[in-house]
């Protein structure tokens, strides 16, 4: 199971206000080295991601109900091509719709995007003041669910900057080949460019569907526990999954079994998918059942083993006279130890006898003195 090392993913949030005026701003960052990716030729390559989000109520254009169906309208970034509608749903975990901002600068490493939550109209057991899960009393809704998520939930406007650093230079993903001067093989470069061309948070929010948000784990039957739901938890979940997906992108995207693959293209194979391209083997596959050794260890271990074997051979082939001399020395040493032991025992015995003689002398003197006195 993949884990996230400490001091790897950083996430922070600030909340202000309550109710329909509540605001939340978020920042996040993480970094992945070439070693983390398993790259053998470019271990000092570094992929850095920083991002920020904030709630934006200006995207909400108001109710657009049709008959008995409640619908909320949104216009992201004040762009007529970014119009979204959210229809009230009484069951199922909330999910998010994705929007991408119009390109407004020349920075290929920076992407602006937005997320619109589909939480309004869902039932809740508990109240909440979070912007995405603000509740009101359910009114005519089933008595079992005392609260309903309010209409007009704000959009979440985000930007993310993703850059690669190698040997003191920095570039966007699209210029990765130029950055590494060909040190990173073509198949691996194409894999990074194919899957990291946009923020992984944005990609996952669509791929994971109703399981993308942390609130999906707090949904029971037709209702959720809104008190425990928050934008912070939802985005933190997406960021952490994005880190894991990015770190494992090479193994996940290239080790694709031919069975059930359908039309998914393996980028490290030729167009007919029959031949592995040169350079596709320049990364290490990690896993709980796989053990790898560094080049240093591969050199050091055989060297130490060879040294030990040489010492054993040398001692086993020493001249017989040398071994005999050492054997005699060992015998003499044992004799000296036994002699010293006997001498110590004799000394202790004499000392004990002297201690026993002293009381007898004292007793005889005392008796003689008593006779003289009489």
User: In Å, what is the CA distance from 313 to each residue of 19, 27, 195, 309, 310?
Assistant: 82, 64, 57, 6, 5
279-328 pLDDT per residue, tens: 666 667 766 665 666 667 778 888 888 888 888 787 677 665 555 455 55
Radius of gyration in angstroms for the set of CA atoms belonging to the chain, rounded to a whole number = 39
Q: What's residue 234's pLDDT? A: 96
Asked if 22 contacts 15 with a C-beta cutoff of 8 angstroms, the reply is yes
- Gap between the Cα atoms of 210 and 177, Å rounded: 36
Q: What's residue 365's pLDDT? A: 45
Q: What's residue 49's pLDDT? A: 96
Domain ranges across the chain:
9-254, 295-374
pTM above 0.85, yes or no: no
Place of tokens 């990716």: 37
Q: What's residue 259's pLDDT? A: 61
User: In Å, what is the CA distance from 290 to each residue of 244, 247, 293?
Assistant: 18, 17, 10
Segments of the chain with pLDDT less than 50: 1, 324, 358, 360-374
């Amino acid at each position: 199971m993949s884990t996230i090392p400490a001091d790897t993913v950083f996430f922070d949030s600030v909340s202000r206000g309550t109710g329909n005026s509540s605001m939340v701003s978020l920042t996040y960052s993480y970094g992945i080295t070439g070693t983390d990716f398993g790259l053998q030729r470019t271990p000092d390559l570094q992929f850095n991601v920083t991002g920020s989000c904030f709630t934006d109520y200006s995207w909400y254009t108001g109710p657009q109900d049709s008959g008995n169906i409640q619908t909320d309208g949104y216009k992201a970034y004040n762009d007529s091509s970014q119009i979204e509608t959210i229809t009230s749903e009484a069951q199922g975990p909330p999910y998010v719709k994705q929007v991408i901002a119009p390109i407004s600068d020349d920075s290929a490493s920076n992407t602006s995007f937005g997320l619109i939550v589909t939480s309004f109209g869902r039932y809740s057991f508990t109240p909440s003041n979070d912007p995405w899960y603000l509740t009101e009393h359910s009114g005519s809704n089933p008595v079992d669910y005392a609260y309903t998520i309010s209409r007009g939930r704000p959009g979440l406007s985000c930007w993310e900057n993703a850059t690669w650093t190698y040997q003191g230079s920095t570039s966007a993903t699209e210029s990765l080949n130029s950055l590494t001067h060909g040190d990173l093989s073509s198949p691996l470069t194409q894999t990074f460019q194919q899957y990291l061309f946009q923020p992984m948070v944005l990609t996952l929010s669509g791929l994971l569907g109703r399981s993308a948000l942390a609130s999906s784990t707090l949904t029971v039957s037709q209702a959720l526990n809104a008190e425990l739901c928050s934008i912070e938890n939802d985005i933190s979940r997406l960021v952490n999954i994005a880190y894991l997906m990015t770190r494992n992108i090479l193994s996940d995207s290239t080790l694709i079994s031919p069975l059930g693959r359908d039309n998914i293209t393996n980028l490290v194979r030729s167009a007919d998918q029959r031949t592995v391209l040169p350079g596709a083997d320049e990364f290490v596959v990690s896993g709980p059942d796989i053990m790898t050794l560094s080049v240093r260890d591969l050199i050091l271990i055989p060297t130490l083993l060879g040294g030990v074997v040489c010492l054993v051979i040398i001692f086993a082939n020493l001249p017989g006279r040398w071994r005999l001399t050492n054997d005699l020395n060992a015998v003499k040493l044992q004799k000296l130890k036994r002699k010293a032991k006997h001498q110590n025992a004799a000394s202790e015995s004499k000392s004990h006898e002297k201690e026993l003689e002293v009381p007898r002398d004292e007793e005889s003197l005392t008796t003689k003195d008593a006779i003289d006195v009489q």
